[in-house]
Amino acid sequence: MSLVIHSTYTNYTYSVDVFVPEVDCPKEGYPIIYVLDGLSYFDFAKKTMELQSKNMRKTKVNPSIVVGIQHEKETMRSRRFYDFTAPALKYTYPKRMHGKEPEAVGGAIDFHLFIEKELKPLIYDHYAVNVKDETLFGHSLGGYYALWNLFHHSRDFKTYIALSPSIWWNDYELVTMAEKIIADDGHHHTLFIGVGELEDFMVTDAQAMYEKLKAYGLNIAFYEALDENHASVVPTVMSRAFRFISGGNE
């Protein structure tokens, strides 16, 4: 099923694709995974879920609904920088971005409201969802947003997947935000952080974030995919991440 939603919070129109597993619905409803950058990753996430959940006894992947949130192809780069980054009084960009600085940033709060106030209610109206078993998946800036959401709105999702998260964004502001996660409900959440071996400084960043959050009592996993880069890490690690959030910890 495909939906088109114009958000009053972000003033942007999103395409949303939905995959529902062909198995009997559990009495509590299906688990659900919301996939950011759906234009790039929904089809792969759908096929991964479809194949792995068919042999759940061996794969340990629970059949789940997959929802892909898509930006328009023509505006995807600029809207990702807006939707996935937090508001701040000042933004600092690394030298490697010289000449490529985004025009608009800091829309994470509005994007959060879109998901919570507009997208989720629509999904709940159409599908039987286990609201106690919801996952947010993000890669790169989407991984940054997944961590930001965990740090600021931890009740939104039970589980978070952050692949190659852009922890470097705005002079590593996520590191400071992470220190505020010591909330009463923080240690009830599950987080999977993955990164490719060839992603240079992002490997060190992800490892440091894992070590920091592990001390807070989360059910957390870290995986470094050998010989993988920023583009190849998602298809390599997605199945492992889905297995982990389903409880199939290795």
pLDDT score for 99: 75
Catalytic residue chosen out of the listed positions 153, 230, 232, 239:
230
- pLDDT at position 184, please? 45
Q: What is the mean pLDDT of each run of 10 residues along the chain (250 residues)?
A: 94 97 93 97 96 87 96 93 96 84 93 98 96 97 97 92 97 89 60 97 97 86 97 95 80
Domain 2-245 is of which CATH architecture?
Answer: 3-Layer(aba) Sandwich (3.40)
pLDDT, one tens digit per residue, over 5-56 is 999 999 999 999 999 999 999 999 999 999 999 999 999 999 999 999 988 8
140 is catalytic: yes
Is 166 catalytic? The answer is: no
Tokens representing residue 188 in the block:
């009830």
Can you give the pTM of this predicted structure? Answer: 0.95
Contacts 24+ apart (CB under 8 A), 72-77: 72/13, 72/15, 73/39, 76/37, 76/39, 77/102
Helix (H) or strand (E) holding 12: strand 12-19
pLDDT at 101: 83
Give the phi and the psi of residue 231 in degrees, each rounded to 5: -85, -35
Q: Where are the domains of the chain?
A: 2-245
Verify whether residue 188 is a known catalytic residue.
no
Closest CA to 53 of 29, 22, 26, 28: 22
| Active-site residue (options: 64, 154, 166, 199) | 199
Q: Please report which residue ranges of the chain form alpha helices under DSSP H.
A: 38-53, 56-59, 76-83, 108-113, 120-126, 141-152, 169-178, 201-214, 233-245
Nearest-angstrom CA–CA distance, 230 and 200:
9
User: What pLDDT is stored for residue 249 in this prediction?
Assistant: 55
Task: Dump pLDDT digits (tens) for 51-76.
Answer: 999 888 888 899 999 999 999 999 99
pLDDT at site 187: 54
Cβ atoms of 110 and 55 within 8 Å: the answer is no
